[in-house]
Structure formats: C-alpha cells, structure tokens
Amino acid sequence: MRKKTLYLDYASSTPVDPNVLAAMMPYLKQEYGNPSSLHGFGQKAAVALELARQMAARFLGCGANEIVFTSGATEANNLAIQGVVRQTTNDKRQTTKPHVITLAIEHESVLAPIQKLEKEGIIEATYISVGKKGTVNPEDVGKAIKENTALVSVQYANSEIGTVQPIAEIGRIIREKNKSLVVGRWSSVIFHTDAVQTANFLDCNVETLGVDCLTLSSHKIYGPKGSGLLFVRKGVVLNPLLEGGSQEGGLRSGTENIPAIVGMAKALAELIGPKTGVEAVRIKHMRDQLIRGVLGRVPESSCTGSLEKRLPNNAHFMFTRIEGKDLVMLLDHKGIAVSSGSACSERSQEPSHVLLALGMSPKEALGSLRITLGKRTTKEDIVRVLKTLPSLVDQLRKHSVRSTKT
C-alpha cells in the first residue's frame, strides 16, 4: 500500500485552515450580496468587508482605511510599484525620470514591472546585489538613494532561499534620507516590502518595520487563493491599476471577493497570539533536523543562504551533478511533494535568477531543491524524507554518469 503523500511545499501554497473555511461558507451560500448595493444583502456583505479590513489592520498595526484588498500578491506588488511610478511621473514638479531601487533577488512580481518600466524609458532602476548568503547590507540601500529616487522595494524574506532582509533597519535609513532630501522635492521616498512569505513567522507591524506599503497573500497563510492586500500608509498617493469603480478607496475597482477576503482576514486573525510563536519554534526544530540530516547523508550537498537570518520553515539545498527538477519528480513519485524553487517560475527551463544573483553558475543553479514545512508537518515526515532523499540523489548521479559515457 502506497504511503500517504507528504506536502512539503508550503512556500508555494498552504491548505485552507478549517476555521478559515468555516468563516467563508456563509458568504459562499446565503450571504451573496454585492457590498456596493444598498439593500440588506449588500449591506451584510459591506459589514463583512469592513470587519475583515479591521482584522487585517489589527494584524499589521495600522488603520483600517490603510488596507486595500486585491486579487493576490502579484496585483498588490504591481499596484505599489506602478502606482508610485505613475503618480510620480504625473507630478509636474518632477522633472527627471523617477528612480526605483530593488534587490536582484526579488520575486518576479516585483522585478517584472520594474524591468518593464525601465525598458519603456519611464524610470531608471538600480538592482542591488546581495552576498552569497542572500542578505543585503542596509547601507547599500541608503547609498543607492538619489535626488530622483521615488521607490525602494525590498522583499522581507526571499521566496526561494528563505533569507530574511533587515527591513526595519532599511526603513530607518530611508526615513533619515527623507529628512535630508532637498526641500521642495515632490514627495518622500516610498518604501515597499513584499512580506508574503513572512506573515506566518515574523513581525509584520508596519510601524516597527517603517514601511509605507506592504504586500500580503492569503494562500500563503492558510487562506484561500485569489485574495491579497496592500497596506498603503495614509498620505501615500498611488495611481490605480484598474479604472471603472470606486471600490477600495478608488485604488482597486471591481466588486470585492467577499468570501476570499473574509477567509484571508480569518487566516490573519489565526496568526495573532502566542501559539504562532510556539508553532514557529516547532517548525524550526524540524527544519534544522532536516538540514543536518541532508548535509550529513548526501555528499556534495550544501544549504543555500544564511542559516541564521532565515525563515523557520525554509530548507533550500544545492546538489552537484543533478538537476533539481528531476529530483522533484522522483520525490513526487515516492509521495513527497517539494519544489525546485518559486512556484511562479518552476516550469521554466532557465536557472533561478535568485541563485545566479548569489554568484552560482547556471549549471550549479539547476541543482536546487526547496523543502518548506508547515502546520501539518511532523517529525515522522522529516524522517521519511531523510530515508528517501539520499538514494534518489545517488540514483540521479549514477544515471548522469552513464549518460555522459554514452
């Protein structure tokens, strides 16, 4: 009899929590009104929407009117980036191209819009490199800020290798820079962070972090897919991506997805309290056991990124003389679901831009494997992975040798 399938790809997506699903069900069945409608059905939906906004605001430590619900993190990231840039270019006081700063290892939903705006000649961009451990020096961000810098976007924790960036320190530096900028400048430098991977484990209080915009995604925190949010600090002006309605303060036209928004708010509420910290400790212990076991059992293996400044659930490995995607497929055949990197780019045949930015060769970067743990992961699951993984790596390496000889 085949063993149960182990799901160890929580960085890609999480299962919907039963409490979240229960909170959503009334809005999938009887409470189906449009929150913009004036009748009773609509007003019930409107009340649910505003309660969800308050719950999200409580998690982030901000005002409810600073929450903009979106279809997910990709839309939220694009709204932050393009919203700042378009608003800046429309300001007649701005006489030069706006300058945007980001990291070379950002998620595609941050890099792609910046690269597109740069290619179109709308902005100039700086892509700050990181060290081999995948963390940025906050001072490098400060040094990159210029008179025409409009936006800094730095991911709180990397979705592939799990390294955590010093967001609060970067925020402090940007605040100091804003004080010293020329008087009469069109606006302050806006600081945005993609915090999608961190909400389960790290402090996302926007005042502590010193950010002006922050992105979250529902399906990374045991909520439903199709819902995300962007925190927009009061006073920050963005141009909307979508036109055609006044929803979400005019920043996100279109009827709100009430069931998904309610589910996301419930998922965020589940993350508030001491049990979250206890769970993070439990997961980190299993992750450390996994890393030690893999490095001890598999020759020519290494763990990517910083071991100290790392998400508690992320273990990212590099194996020589194999391709990570082949290993993912073999593990899947054995009933263990993992990934070779970000779900948004895993089907690509190209090596990860994150790993290349760490200084790896394209050949080295193809030998990656990401294992991410979650609430349902057990110690027995880790034991099973450690029993299965080494022989599969050995199998792939032997096959590689035979293929080379023929």
Q: What is the pLDDT of residue 347?
A: 58
Instruction: Taking residues 260-274, report their average pLDDT.
Output: 95
Q: pLDDT of 328-366, one tens digit each?
A: 999 999 999 999 875 555 556 689 999 999 999 999 999
The end-to-end CA distance of the chain, in Å, is 37
Task: For domain 6-15+274-405, give the CATH superfamily.
Answer: Aspartate Aminotransferase, domain 1 (3.90.1150.10)
Backbone angles phi, psi at 381, to 5 degrees: -65, -40
Answer yes or no: is pLDDT of 280 > 60: yes
Answer yes or no: is pLDDT of 93 > 80: no
pLDDT band at 180 (very low <50, low <70, confident <90, very high): confident
Q: What is the pLDDT of residue 25?
A: 98
Q: What is the pLDDT of residue 127?
A: 98
**Catalytic annotation, residues:** 344
Instruction: Taking residues 385-399, report their average pLDDT.
Output: 96
6-15+274-405 and 18-270 in the same fold: no
Q: What is the pLDDT of residue 3?
A: 74
Backbone angles phi, psi at 96, to 5 degrees: -120, 165
Mean pLDDT computed over every residue of the chain:
93
- Min mean pLDDT across 50-59, 114-123, 223-232, 396-405 is at 396-405
Answer yes or no: is pLDDT of 4 > 90: no
SS (H, E, C) 129-187: CCCCCCCCCHHHHHHHCCCCEEEEECCCECCCCCEECCHHHHHHHHHHHHHHCCCCCCC
Is the pTM above the cut of 0.85?
Answer: yes
Q: Where are the beta strands (DSSP E) in 38-90?
A: 67-70
Q: What is the pLDDT of residue 187?
A: 74
Residue type, 28: L
Choices 3.40.640.10, 3.40.50.2300, 3.40.190.80, 3.30.230.10: CATH for 18-270:
3.40.640.10
Of the chain, the percentage scoring pLDDT greater than 90 comes to 87
Cα(347)–Cα(354) distance, rounded to whole angstroms? 15
pLDDT band at 91 (very low <50, low <70, confident <90, very high): confident
Instruction: Taking residues 320-326, report their average pLDDT.
Output: 95
pLDDT band at 90 (very low <50, low <70, confident <90, very high): confident
Tokens of 210: 């010193």
Spell out the domain ranges in the chain.
Answer: 6-15+274-405, 18-270
Q: What is the pLDDT of residue 185?
A: 60
Q: What is the pLDDT of residue 2?
A: 61
